[in-house]
Amino acid sequence: MANEPVTARRLAAVTAVAGLAAAAVLALTPLIGPVAIDYGRAFAGLSPDREILFQARLPRVLLALLAGGALTLAGVLFQALVRDALADPYTLGISSGASLGAVIAITLGLRQLGRYPAVGAAAFLGAAATMALVAAIASRGRRISSFTLLLAGVTINSMSMAVILFLHNLADVGQSFAIMRWLMGGIEVVEYSTILWLAAIVFPVAVYLFLFARRWNLLAVGEEWAEARGVPLRRLLLGGFLAASVLTGAVTAITGPIGFVGLIIPHALRLRIGADHRLLIPAAFLVGAAFLGICDTVARTVLAPTEIPVAVITALLGGPFFIWLLRSRRRSLWL
């Protein structure tokens, strides 16, 4: 299947299968939980099914799907931009930059930043600032070195964590609790308005990325390769990093850091459908959505009534996967 040429027909087929997976998760996981509910009763407006579905489970499932899709897409993009299957919002330090922003807001006791909730807005700014910093460190003249970028990400990661620990030390008990809770990234029940504004950010970015799919293909092969094929390299890199940071920042602002989602799904998909971004982008978005939806269902049911943060699940799955990927890749690590 990976070997066939990329045509509109194949795109439709791949999108249909991936869309089916996401739709199945959307349809089935709200039914799972400590209290059995029934769609017939819920849509008929009968209590408590109606409240449980529309006020507890559905917003959470929708947020999981949206966050999973966006994080996976960010992973795909970061991997193409730095030409490394190990890159994702987590390994490049973007997630921890967002965390640092949130922790600063919590420690300062900010409630509002302009018109926005302070923690979310600060997380978003943290993600953007980290991306700019990592890119500035890695760019020399008009080029950006992928290898330096990854290392810069790792370094920023540990520095952010150090500052977070320091701030945590200074914090009072209430703030300390808020910090720990935020750092354990998780999907929580949110207002529909929050989901709507997240969707309003994620969908346009996803469409932009999809329309540039052939350029990501060129970039995924090499910077000179892309440049020799008429791509405005610097603009494309900037646009790509900006888009991936926006996706990561927007999601992390709501859920806290959830790692490794952008690592597992893109890799698995490339083995199945190949590396062409025209297929990879829609498939990654939909399958990533389904994946996080399932992970979150596990997170809220496996130890019910206790809920575990979904980031614990993704890290337990993603960590070993990362190590396996690191060991199995053919390219020598000596560089």
Give how many residues touch another protein by CB under 8 A.
39
CB of 274 to another protein, least distance (A): 6
Q: Does 271 bind another protein (CB under 8 A)?
A: yes
Closer to another protein by Cβ: residue 137 or 268: 268
Sign, Cα dihedral of 296, 300, 301, 302: positive
Q: Does 2 bind another protein (CB under 8 A)?
A: yes
Judge whether 10 and 4 are in contact, CB under 8 Å. Answer: yes
Q: Does 207 bind another protein (CB under 8 A)?
A: no
Q: Does 8 bind another protein (CB under 8 A)?
A: yes
Closer to another protein by Cβ: residue 57 or 215: 215
- Residue 222 CA to residue 224 CA, distance in Å, equals 6
Interface residue with another protein among 31, 33, 161, 227 (CB under 8 A) is 227
CB of 148 to another protein, least distance (A): 16
Interface residue with another protein among 275, 292, 299, 310 (CB under 8 A) is 275
Contacts of 28 (CB under 8 A, 6+ apart): none
Q: Does 270 bind another protein (CB under 8 A)?
A: yes
Query: Which whole-number Å values give the CA distances from 224 to 84, 147, 228, 233, 302, in the listed order?
Result: 16, 15, 6, 9, 49
Three-state DSSP at 258 gives coil
Residues in region 134-163 near another protein by CB under 8 A: 141
- Residues 185, 186, 191, 193, Cα dihedral to 10°: 50
Closer to another protein by Cβ: residue 35 or 335: 335
Q: Does 278 bind another protein (CB under 8 A)?
A: yes
Q: Does 228 bind another protein (CB under 8 A)?
A: yes
Q: What is the DSSP letter of 54?
A: I
Q: Does 326 bind another protein (CB under 8 A)?
A: no
Q: Does 335 bind another protein (CB under 8 A)?
A: no
Sign, Cα dihedral of 37, 39, 42, 46: negative
Closest CA to 260 of 292, 223, 229: 292
**For 87-149, what is the HEC assignment?**
CCCCCCCHHHHHHHHHHHHHHHCCCEECCEEHHHHHHHHHHHHHHHHHHHHHEECCEECHHHH
Q: Does 67 bind another protein (CB under 8 A)?
A: no
Closest CA to 242 of 1, 49, 104, 78: 78
Interface residue with another protein among 44, 224, 302, 323 (CB under 8 A) is 224
Residues in region 73-102 near another protein by CB under 8 A: 79-80, 83-85
Closer to another protein by Cβ: residue 240 or 256: 240
Closer to another protein by Cβ: residue 18 or 310: 18
Burial status of residue 148 (CB atoms within 10 A of its CB: 0-12, 13-18, 19 or more): middle
Interface residue with another protein among 111, 193, 331, 334 (CB under 8 A) is 331
Closer to another protein by Cβ: residue 211 or 304: 211
Q: Which residues bind another protein (CB under 8 A)?
A: 2-8, 11, 79-80, 83-85, 141, 211, 213-215, 217-218, 220-222, 224-225, 227-232, 270-271, 274-276, 278, 330-331
